[in-house]
């Protein structure tokens, strides 16, 4: 996706998101790009500075202190000795507890209310003191 700074013939400035520069041009040619303020279809790209991504620290930076080193060691042990089930954690843990699925070590994510229900049902679960590496939507 590309974000363009746009300006209509009445001087209104606004932003628009497009799949590509060709997509913007096609929508502009067909009159589908309109001013957010006045509805004018006479819209052009405005002068804008390029967006430059800032340099970020690597996701797996070296531990800065003994506590971080211990957490990283715990994380490695959990990841090496269990299956990641993502957002299906509550479902998988409950099914194993009820005998519907074979028992195995798992880790994943659960919303606070899901975790509370598991604990109330007597399902043996524990929160882990780190964020998951996998991104979940």
- The pLDDT score that the predictor gives to residue 36 is 84
Q: Is the pLDDT of residue 122 over 90?
A: yes
pLDDT tens, 23-44?
899 999 999 999 888 989 999 9
| Token output for 19 | 């799949």
Against a cut of 0.75, is the pTM above it?
Answer: no
Query: How many residues are there in the chain?
Result: 137
Please report how many Cα atoms fall inside a 13 Å half-sphere around the Cα of residue 114, on the Cβ side: 13
- The pLDDT score that the predictor gives to residue 42 is 93
Query: Exposed/middle/buried for 26, CB within 10 Å: 0-12, 13-18, 19+?
Result: middle
């Amino acid at each position: 996706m590309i974000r363009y700074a746009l300006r209509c013939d009445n001087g209104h400035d606004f932003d628009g998101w497009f799949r590509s520069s060709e997509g913007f041009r096609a929508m502009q040619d067909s009159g589908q790009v309109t001013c957010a303020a006045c509805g004018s279809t006479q819209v052009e790209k405005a002068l804008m500075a390029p967006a430059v991504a800032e340099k970020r620290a690597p996701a797996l930076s070296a531990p800065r202190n003994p506590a971080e080193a211990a957490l990283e060691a715990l994380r490695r042990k959990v990841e090496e000795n269990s299956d990641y089930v993502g957002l299906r954690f509550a479902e998988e843990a409950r099914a194993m507890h009820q005998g519907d699925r074979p028992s195995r070590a798992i880790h994943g994510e659960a919303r606070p209310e899901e975790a509370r229900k598991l604990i109330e049902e007597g399902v043996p679960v524990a929160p882990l003191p780190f964020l998951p590496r996998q991104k979940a939507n």
